[in-house]
Amino acid sequence: MTTQKVKLTNHAISRRKERNIKMENVTIEYITNLPIYGTDSGCTKYLDMKELIVYYIRDNKIVTMISTNPIQMLRYYVIGITSNFITKKCGKLCDSKCKCLNFNNYCRDHSFKNCKHGINCNYIHVN
């Protein structure tokens, strides 16, 4: 399997510098395997939950990117679930009243890597 080097538009290069986003060892394959938050103006928005970056991809090029905080990233993730871009189920009660669909059912402490309840937590953990 070959890895494609990531191509950035001039706008993306500018935003990367402006927002001080590091992109070591990032490939287009890595990005396209991330959860999808949504689409906008022909771009697919991918969520890098670990690095807290949203990549806007069109035609295998990064058009722009934003860095965000853990809570906003969690909100993007939930929006991705509610708009059917992310099909991950919470594993607790998934039906028409699924806990996955409500942002208030997610563990914010886990987003900041400091949840003290682990598997006993009453809230949904997103990695």
18-28 tens-digit pLDDT: 999 988 888 88
Report how far residue 87's alpha carbon sits from residue 68's, in angstroms, rounded to the nearest whole number.
22
Return the pLDDT at 62. 94
Give per-residue pLDDT as tens, 91-100: 544 555 677 7
Give per-residue pLDDT as tens, 60-74: 899 999 999 999 999
| Residues 6, 26 contacting (CB under 8 angstroms) | yes
Return the pLDDT at 92. 47
Question: What average pLDDT does the chain have?
Answer: 85
Please tell me whether the overall predicted TM-score, pTM, comes out greater than 0.85 for this model. no
pLDDT score of 85 more than 60: yes
Closest by Cα among 82, 90, 76, 84 to 37? 76
pLDDT score of 119 more than 50: yes
Report how far residue 119's alpha carbon sits from residue 92's, in angstroms, rounded to the nearest whole number.
12
Q: Where residue 90 falls among pLDDT bands split at 50, 70, 90?
A: low
Closest by Cα among 113, 121, 114 to 90? 121
